């Protein structure tokens, strides 16, 4: 592993010296043909595989046709109407990305809508579309990780924005096993690159606040073969469940709400109901507190065909479910229910109930139980999550939960307490007790329920729900001026 990372890093540095971050990182290959053309000549067979030429060609064609289906609208129930627009338009002044390459460069397949905005300086936002030219002077290249097919890198663009680059991993399982079996380097790269191309199309077709943004792509010659593909996407932080369990309930609820909104979108997407066959925390990232799906190369749009209910079994490690077979011959809501149960077992059961406000726990428990039993679909699940958000954001969850204060507090405007911290859990600050409150009454209630609390400091900072952040203190012997804060000290009771 150490040798592999060192080799990757060395390749990255070499690419900078040659004027491109992509020249030597990834295995070479070729793009799929334009629609209406054959996928091209079959690769040479491998030394240990009889009939390898035809089998590899069959696999390449199958992946190419899958990409074409998703580009034009998914098959099966609820599929969108075919799209005829090009994925990119290379004509000067056209609406798509312009590729700064020699004339030999070739476009991606037809069929998907226009590109989303690329990031402007400093953070994602409106700006020029990104292509190979944007990667010529990147800095801070960092290897983030890899899976079976792709490697992911973090780079900083000349304007200061950080983005992620994805490309086929030449040391990865998919490419390596294919080369060992078929002995066809170009053909195997082409087979693996279709998974990256599929993800690229789905990121575009499934645009949503909880789907990672696609900023562009680059086709660049690598070694002796043209047109290796790298996608340029929004950069997110990995989902670390152990760390999430130590964060505030409000932030954990935000992740679950993000996931509920994403699953609702996938169930009603323009392509039909989309299921994530590889549904694990590592397939998601966090961007400014929002959960976003980033890995879509194992997504599937087609519902499962059936002749009876016995064909509609959802199998999980802990239990199985049997869904009804519709009169049209499709397992009803199987894609949706697979996503929902995975959300329950990987996210909801860990993040939703723990340390939640007591008055919200019955509703949260019902969400966890219903998703664990698949008694709700994504529509009802999202409706209940949105109800929790409304109760929490509006302060209605506080009704009958805060008793009248028996203590009196003196207000000290434009001041703070510089020391006298104590720890509580969960807290927004590891060295002290920093919590969010809906109003002053809730802050008083929290202070009176903490044995150590003798004062609290209301800041001008708010959370994503608009709640104010408050420091709770053990005393007030170190009051100092601060125009952005207000201190309340306990004087009786």
CB 218 within 8 A of CB 232: yes
Beta bridge partners of 457: 471, 487
Query: Phi then psi for 483, rounded to 5 degrees?
Result: -70, -15
Which string of b and e fits 133-160 if b means at least 16 CB within 10 Å? ebbeebeebeeeebbbbbbbbebbbeee
CB atoms < 10 A from the CB of 385, how many?
23
- Three-state SS for the chain is CHHHHHHHHHHHHHHHHCCCCCCCCCCCCCCCCCCCCCCCCCCCCCCCCCCHHHHHHHHHHHHHHHHHHHHHCCCCCCCCCCCCCECCCCCCCCCCCCCCCCCCCCCCCECCCCCCCCCCCCCCCCCCCECHHHHCCCEEEEEEEECCCEEEEEEECCCCCEEEEEEECCCCHHHHHHHHHHCCHHHHHHHHHHHHHHHHHHHHHCCCCCECCEEEEEEEEECCEEEEEEEEECCCEECCHHHHCCCCHHHHHHHHHHHHHHHHHHHCECCECCEECCCCHHHEEEECCEEEECCCCCEECCCCECCCHHHCEEECCCCEEECCECCCCEECCHHHHHHHHHHHHHHHHHHCCCCCCHHHHHHHHHHHHHHHHCCCCHHHHHHHHHHHHHHHHHCHHHCCCCCCCCCEEEEEEEEEECCCECCCCCCCCCCCEEEEECCHHHHHHHHHHCCCCCEEEEEEEECCCCCEEEEEECCCCCEEEEEEEEEEEEEEC
List the catalytic residue out of 278, 298, 445, 482.
278
Whether cis (ω within 30° of 0) applies to the bond prior to 300 is: no
CB atoms < 10 A from the CB of 256, how many?
22
298 among known catalytic residues: no
CB 432 within 8 A of CB 416: no
- Rounded Cα gap, residues 16 and 52, in angstroms: 37
CB atoms < 10 A from the CB of 5, how many?
12
Beta bridge partners of 479: 417
Q: Which residues are catalytic?
A: 278
């Amino acid at each position: 592993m150490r040798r592999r990372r060192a080799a990757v890093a060395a390749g990255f540095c070499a690419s900078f010296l040659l004027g491109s971050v992509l020249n030597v990182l990834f295995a070479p290959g070729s793009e799929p043909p334009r629609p209406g053309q054959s996928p091209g000549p079959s690769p040479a067979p491998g030394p240990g595989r009889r009939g390898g030429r035809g089998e590899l060609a069959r696999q390449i064609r199958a992946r190419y046709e899958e990409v074409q289906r998703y580009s034009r609208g998914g098959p099966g129930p609820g599929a969108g109407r075919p799209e005829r627009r090009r994925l990119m338009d290379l004509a000067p002044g056209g609406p798509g990305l312009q590729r700064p390459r020699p004339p030999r460069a070739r476009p991606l397949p037809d069929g998907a809508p226009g590109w989303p905005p690329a990031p402007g300086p400093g953070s994602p936002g409106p700006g020029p579309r990104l292509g190979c030219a944007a990667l010529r002077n990147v800095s801070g290249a960092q290897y983030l990780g890899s899976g079976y097919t792709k490697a992911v890198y973090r780079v900083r663009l000349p304007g200061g924005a950080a983005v992620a680059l994805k490309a086929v991993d030449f040391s990865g399982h998919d490419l390596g096993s294919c080369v060992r079996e078929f002995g066809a380097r170009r053909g195997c790269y082409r087979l693996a690159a279709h998974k990256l191309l599929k993800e690229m199309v789905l990121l575009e077709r499934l645009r949503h606040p909880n789907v990672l943004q696609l900023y562009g792509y680059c086709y660049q010659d690598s070694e002796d073969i043209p047109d290796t593909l790298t996608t340029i996407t929004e950069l997110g932080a990995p989902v670390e469940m152990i760390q999430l369990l130590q964060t505030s309930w409000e932030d954990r609820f935000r992740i679950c709400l993000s996931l509920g909104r994403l699953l609702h979108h996938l169930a009603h997407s323009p392509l039909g109901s989309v299921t994530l066959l590889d549904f694990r925390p590592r397939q998601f990232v966090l961007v400014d507190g929002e959960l976003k799906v980033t890995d879509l190369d194992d997504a599937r749009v087609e519902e499962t065909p059936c002749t009876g209910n016995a064909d509609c079994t959802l199998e999980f490690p802990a239990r199985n479910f049997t869904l009804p077979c519709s009169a049209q011959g499709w397992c009803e809501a199987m894609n949706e229910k697979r996503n929902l149960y995975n959300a329950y077992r990987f996210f909801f059961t860990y993040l939703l109930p723990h340390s939640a406000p007591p008055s919200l726990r019955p509703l949260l428990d019902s969400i966890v139980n219903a998703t664990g039993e698949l008694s709700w679909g994504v529509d009802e699940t999202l409706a209940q999550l949105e109800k929790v958000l409304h109760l929490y954001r509006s302060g209605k969850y506080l009704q009958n939960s805060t008793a009248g204060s028996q203590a009196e507090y003196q207000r000290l405007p434009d001041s703070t307490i510089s020391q006298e911290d104590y720890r509580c859990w969960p807290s927004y600050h590891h060295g002290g007790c920093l919590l969010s409150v809906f109003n002053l009454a809730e802050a008083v209630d929290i202070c009176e329920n903490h044995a150590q609390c003798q004062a609290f400091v209301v800041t001008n900072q708010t959370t994503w729900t608009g709640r104010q952040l408050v420091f709770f203190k053990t005393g007030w012997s170190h009051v100092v001026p601060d125009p952005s804060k207000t201190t309340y000290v306990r004087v009786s009771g």
